[in-house]
Amino acid sequence: MQLLAVDIGTGTQDILLFNTDFQPENCFKLVMPSPTMQVAQKVKQATRQKQPILLQGYTMGGGPSHWAVRDHVRAGNPVFITPQAARTFNDDLERVQEMGVVIVSDDEVKQLLKSRTDLASISCCDFNFKTIQEAFRAFGVSLSLDGVAVAVFDHGAAPPNISDRKFRFDYLEECLEDKKTLSTFAHRAGQIPKIMTRLQNVADSAYSTGLSADVDLMVMDTSPAAILGALLDPKVKKQENVVAVNIGNMHTLAFRIENTEICGVFEHHTGHVNKKTLDQLLRRLIEGSLTNEEVFDHHGHGALVENRQPLEVGFITVLGPRRGMMKASSLPTHFAAPYGDMMLTGCFGLVRAWADVFPDQQEIIKESLFQTNFVAPWELL
């Protein structure tokens, strides 16, 4: 079985070609610039050349691309953008227009491309299957896929006058009402909640960029995927109870897991926490005393703790690109690296979630993840 797992963050997109015939450590992998970093780079190049730009395509991750477009406008350069691409920056298109960009329809795009020969056209897309396929092909690796799993962070499309922080955390709570495991945050392509517009755009872009309609697709939230991957770390697997924190470039999310069931969670903005506050939040999560109000009032998304009893846990499982924040923690920590690769933690989490979302393939995936009787890659050439 061959499964393509892609974990898309703010800084990098981490790509794993998981093959059940190989040991997990021997599976082929890539760590490349994230799509939003690629868009930002193209925008910055146009800024240096004082060139007008047209952004079109899909709703995708913002951050670096948003900041680059803002700076492009401030430098006095025109920016045209289609409505779907504009929602990368804000679901409220009036707020996007306030940046100084011009929102254009598909018909207007055609006219722009004809009349503005100096226009730099930039495609917005979180997941471009063709690009990844060509990257592997350049190394002589063909993708005969049984499935594709992609993780992105999605705030969701909050209605007007509703906090996007609250809206996002409400989604997390609703998922946990359905099932108290990390796989509850994974969805088959045809079952993505309508409010999760970035996840839906990933599915749309996958099939429009060359993924065969016969190949199953699953999408998932990034932090739960990463923490699910961390549970495959040998030291973490030995724990009966787990408290794990994924410290991303933009968001920090922690889960309290008792006997495989989630009984507590909080999510915050990484830029609003430091070593001291993160220790406090984690300690209160372990104690069972953390409240939603204290996280939300500190500009975080929120918290949910169902079991108010203290939890016995040997250490905090730490992962994510900003994990260095926990190096000086007053709490005991373990920096997870499943199959020896911290950067692929989210990808391995996607593979593990696939086994739950597609039960008919559960046996072969679990056997591959938890056994070691494999041939070497060169024996299959």
**In the prediction, which pLDDT does 90 show?**
92
Q: How far is CA 263 from CA 259, 287, 307, in A?
A: 10, 12, 6
CATH fold match for the domains 35-124 and 234-336: no
> Domain 35-124, what fold?
Rossmann fold (3.40.50)
For residue 236, the model assigns a pLDDT of 96
Cα–Cα distances in angstroms (integers) from residue 252 to residues 11, 76, 137, 167, in the given order: 15, 35, 35, 16
What are 110-140's pLDDT values in tens digits? 999 988 889 999 999 999 999 999 999 999 9
Closest CA to 43 of 11, 94, 81, 16: 81
Alpha-carbon distance 154 to 163, whole Å?
A: 14
> Cα separation of 152 and 186, whole Å?
11
Domain ranges (residues) in the chain: 2-33+129-220+350-361, 35-124, 234-336
pTM: 0.94
Helix, strand and coil content of the chain, in percent to the nearest 5, comes to 45, 25, 35
Number of H helices, E strands in the chain: 14, 16
C-alpha span between 285 and 278 (Å, rounded)? 10
Query: CATH classification of 234-336 is 3.30.910, yes or no?
Result: no
The pLDDT value given to residue 161: 84
pLDDT under 50: residue ranges of the chain: none
- The reported pLDDT for the residue numbered 371 is 74
pLDDT of residue 145: 97
Looking at residue 349, its pLDDT comes to 98
Predicted pLDDT at 375: 55
Q: What is the pLDDT of residues 17-67, one digit of tens each?
A: 999 999 999 999 999 999 999 999 999 999 999 999 999 999 999 999 999
